Chains A and B, each alone.
Chain A
Amino acid sequence: MNKRLGGRRGGRLVALLTAMIVVLTGLACRRAEESGPSRVEIDPSQLSSREWPELERRARGTTVNYAMWAGDEARNRYFRGPFADELRQRYGIELRIVPLGDVAEAVNKLLNEKGAGKTRGGSIDMIWINGENFGTARQGGVLWGPFADALPHIGRYADEARQRDFGTPIEGYEAPWQRAQFVMAWDTGRMAAPPADIPGLIEWIRANPGRFTYPAPPDFTGSVFLRHLLYHFGGGPEKFQQGFDEELYQRTADQVFALLRELRPALWRRGETYPANPRDADRLFVNREIDLTMSYGPAFASERIARGEYPATVRTFVFTSGTIGNYNYLAIPFNAANPTGALVVINHLMGVESLLDQSRRLGITFPLDPARLSAAERDLVAALPRGPATLTTEELASHLLPEPAVRYLERLERDWRERVLQP
Chain B
Amino acid sequence: MRHGDRAKETASRRALVVIEWLGMLVVLCGAIGPLLLLAISSIAHSWFWPALLPGEWSGRAWSYVLAPVAGVGEALVTSLLIAVLVALAALSMAWPAGRLVAQRDFPGKRALLFLLLLPVLAPPLASTMGMHALFLRYGLADTLLGVVLAHLVPSVPYATMVLTGSFSRFESGLEEQARTLGASRFRVWRDVTIPAIRPGLAVAGAFAFLISWSQYLSTLIIGGGRVQTLPLSLVAFQRSGDEPIAAALSLLFLAPAVLLLLGVGRLMITVNGKDGQ
Contacts and interface: CB of A to CB of B under 8 A. Distances in A.
A73 interface: yes
Interface stretch (B8-16, B103-111, B139-147, B152-160): B139-147
B180 interface: no
Interface string A16-33: 010011001101110110
Contacts of B60: 73, 307
A124 interface: yes
A116 interface: yes
Contacts of B194: 10, 13-14
Contacts of A13: 194
B137 interface: yes
Contacts of A76: 69-70
A3 B190 contact: no
Interface residues of B, number: 57
B191 A6 contact: yes
A309 interface: yes
A251 interface: no
Interface stretch (B20-28, B43-51, B161-169): B43-51
Given A2-B274, A10-B195, A71 B242 contact: yes
Which interface residue of B146, B148, B195 has the most chain A CB atoms within 10 A?
B195
B221 interface: yes
B39 to A, nearest CB: 17
A118 B49 CA distance: 52
B49 A24 contact: no
A282 B226 contact: no
B233 A29 contact: no
B225 A287 contact: no
Contact of B191 (A7, A21, A27, A69): A7
B224 A123 contact: yes
Contacts of B268: none
A20 B84 contact: yes
Contacts of A102: 239
A420 interface: no
A111 to B, nearest CB: 11
A414 interface: no
Interface string B107-138: 00000000000000000000001001100110
Contacts of B195: 6-7, 9-10
A109 B85 contact: no
Interface in A383-407: none
Nearest to B134: A116
Interface in A276-320: 277-279, 282, 286-288, 307-309, 311
B228 A99 contact: yes
Contacts of B226: 35, 98, 123
A105 interface: yes
Contacts of B232: 99, 101
B85 A10 contact: no
A288 B49 contact: yes
A99 B236 contact: yes
A123 B225 contact: yes
B253 interface: no
Contacts of A14: 189-190, 194
B236 A69 contact: yes
Contacts of A28: 81, 85, 144-145, 148
B71 interface: yes
A317 to B, nearest CB: 21
A67 interface: yes
B14 to A, nearest CB: 41
Contacts of A362: none
B244 to A, nearest CB: 8
B220 interface: yes
Given A35-B142, A99-B232, A7 B136 contact: no
Nearest to A73: B64
Nearest to A21: B88
Given A14-B190, A27-B81, A311-B48, A70 B133 contact: no
Nearest to B237: A71
A80 B71 contact: yes
- Name the 8 nearest CB pairs between A and B, nearest first: A71-B240, A279-B241, A308-B45, A32-B143, A116-B136, A308-B46, A287-B49, A7-B191
15 contacts: A7-B190, A10-B195, A11-B190, A32-B143, A70-B236, A76-B70, A80-B71, A105-B220, A106-B225, A109-B225, A112-B221, A113-B141, A117-B136, A287-B49, A311-B46
Given A17-B88, A69-B236, A287-B48, 19 more contacts: A3-B191, A7-B191, A10-B194, A25-B85, A71-B236, A71-B237, A73-B245, A76-B70, A109-B224, A112-B132, A113-B136, A113-B141, A115-B133, A116-B133, A124-B225, A278-B241, A279-B239, A308-B45, A308-B56
Interface of A: 2-3, 6-7, 9-11, 13-14, 17, 20-21, 24-25, 27-29, 31-32, 35, 67, 69-73, 76-77, 80-81, 97-102, 105-106, 108-109, 112-113, 115-118, 123-124, 277-279, 282, 286-288, 307-309, 311
